[in-house]
């Protein structure tokens, strides 16, 4: 058994000692969305610190726990606070929580994040349905011995973000009259924001939004056969696209400003796909 799988089994044991809850949908909450988890019907919470071998996030404002409960009738597990590559963890640890949620039974994964807008038509506060991603600038989480128990050595990535789920999300957004952009998410390492030259590079690659998470989690989830979808909150225009300098406060403020709408959309999406 690979080292990664052994660690996952240990983590699953820690969680299973606290709850036998069977989630159908897994959610990872990005900046500004964290309190969505406080608003669901909570059955059990498990702090990351209670899980043996679990990577614990260090970002201020990121709570670190799994929340198990119901959104409507749908049993969910929510990662309230994710682990980022820029915190110094190897990629296999960054995606460990995603894999763990899959191993706890979740068949579908909803990814959310805050992102900088690269597409000239995007505005801060817009939501973008992720249609595809570019991870070329960060290490692949599948590097190293393949975890045979989870998936194949060379997994297909031609439809990471499920077309079926994307169509459901579009319909739910329409019902709520929430405008939804679409585009390609580029994951870079962070934690420094990009330079204007890097943003021009991302645009020439075909990117519409840029961020420091998500795509690696999507790859790990697809590897193990989960159905994946993702929505970005465009919190700012990317570097060089306005006269403003970038800072985390602006990102947080925009995320907070539209959090109500974002949560409404996510709630509808969970019920729609669950």
Active site residues: 31, 62, 84, 86-87, 114, 212-213, 236, 248
Query: Among candidates 226, 215, 210, which has minimal Cα distance to 85?
Result: 215
- The DSSP-derived string for 121-163 is T--TT-EEEEEEEE-TTS--TT-SS--TTT--SS---TTSB-H
Site string for ligand HPA, 214-253 (x = CB under 6 A): ---------------------xx-x-------x----x--
Cβ 243 to ligand HPA shortest distance, Å: 15
Q: Which is nearer to ligand HPA, 44 or 252 (CB)?
A: 252
Applying CB under 6 A, does 266 fall inside the site for ligand HPA?
no
- Say which DSSP state 111 is in: E
Q: Which is nearer to ligand HPA, 137 or 140 (CB)?
A: 137
d(CA 53, CA 42): 25
Applying CB under 6 A, does 124 fall inside the site for ligand HPA?
no
Among 67, 111, 114, 266, binds ligand HPA (CB under 6 A): 114
Applying CB under 6 A, does 172 fall inside the site for ligand HPA?
no
Among 87, 194, 217, 227, binds ligand HPA (CB under 6 A): 194
Largest CA distance in the chain: 53
Bridge partners for 186 per DSSP = 134, 210
Applying CB under 6 A, does 173 fall inside the site for ligand HPA?
no
- The DSSP-derived string for 27-77 is EEE-TT-GGGGGGSEEEEEEEGGGSTT------TT---EEEEEEETTEEEE
Binding residues for ligand HPA (CB under 6 A): 114-116, 193-194, 210-212, 235-236, 238, 246, 251
């Amino acid at each position: 058994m690979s080292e990664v799988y052994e660690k996952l089994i240990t983590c699953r044991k820690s969680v299973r000692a606290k709850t036998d809850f069977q989630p159908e949908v897994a959610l990872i909450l990005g900046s500004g969305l964290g309190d969505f988890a406080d608003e669901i019907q909570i059955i059990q919470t498990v702090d990351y610190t209670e899980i043996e071998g679990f990577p614990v996030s260090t970002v201020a404002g990121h709570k670190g726990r799994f929340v198990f409960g119901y959104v409507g009738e749908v049993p969910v597990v929510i990662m309230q606070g994710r682990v980022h590559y820029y915190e110094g963890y190897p990629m296999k640890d960054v995606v460990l929580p995603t894999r763990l949620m899959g191993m706890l039974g979740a068949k579908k994964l909803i990814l959310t994040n805050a992102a900088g807008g690269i597409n000239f038509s995007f505005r801060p506060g817009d939501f973008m349905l992720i249609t595809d991603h570019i991870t070329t600038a960060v290490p692949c989480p599948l590097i190293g011995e393949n975890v045979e128990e989870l998936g194949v050595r060379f997994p297909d990535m031609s439809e990471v973000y499920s077309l079926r789920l994307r169509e459901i999300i579009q319909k739910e957004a329409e019902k709520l009259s929430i405008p939804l952009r679409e585009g390609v998410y580029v994951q870079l390492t962070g934690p420094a924001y990009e330079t204007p030259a890097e943003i021009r590079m991302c645009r020439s690659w075909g990117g519409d939004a840029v961020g420091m998470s998500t795509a690696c989690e999507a790859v790990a989830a697809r590897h193990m056969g989960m159905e994946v979808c993702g929505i970005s909150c465009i919190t700012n225009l990317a570097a060089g696209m306005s006269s403003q300098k970038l800072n985390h406060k602006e990102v947080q403020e925009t995320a907070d400003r539209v959090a109500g709408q974002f949560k409404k959309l996510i709630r509808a999406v969970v019920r729609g796909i669950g």
